[in-house]
Structure 1
Amino acid sequence: MLTIKILGSGCANCKKLEAVAREAAGNAHVQADFVKVTDMKEILAFDLLSTPGLVINDKLVSS
């Protein structure tokens, strides 16, 4: 099972990224836990320069 984190404040782009990630996981028949991360300290730990960010199994894959 994958852990997928959406990093951001909950803006429209963050919500869109989450929807696309959920759709992709569903289409690929991948089981995943989705976590919304809004805490800035946790977001900055990923060296993210802008939000939204997509983290899969603790690896930043998109920002």
Structure 2
Amino acid sequence: MEIKILGTGCSNCKKLEANAKEAIKELNADAKITKVEDIKEIMKYGIMRTPAIVINEKVKMFGKVCTVDEIKKYINDEK
């Protein structure tokens, strides 16, 4: 499973990445996290606000920091 955190490196982006790492740890999921900070790459996903989380190339949420539980749900939805 591939999880992408879209954002330019702001504090919310870093918090979202930390929450994603915690969700993977709690689920013992086989997942890889990639940070996407290039604005041109971010724009390819059609989002208007960061941070955003993309799982298996599907935008799951953008414009806010997901909780660990929300991310766990997104991961389970993709299994």
Query: Which TM-score bucket, shorter chain as reference?
Result: over 0.9
Pairwise mapping of residues 17-56 of structure 1 onto structure 2 (< 5 A)? 17-56=16-55
- For these two proteins, the number of residue pairs brought into alignment is 62
Q: Which structure 1 residue ranges, 5 or more long, are not aligned?
A: none
Aligned mates of 1:15, 1:21 — CA distance in 2: 10
Provide the TM-score with structure 2 as the length reference.
0.76
Identity %: 48
Provide the TM-score with structure 1 as the length reference.
0.94
Higher strand share: 1
Higher helix share: 2
Q: Which has the higher contact order (CA 8 A, sep 6+)?
A: 1
Q: Which structure 2 residue ranges, 5 or more long, are not aligned?
A: 63-79
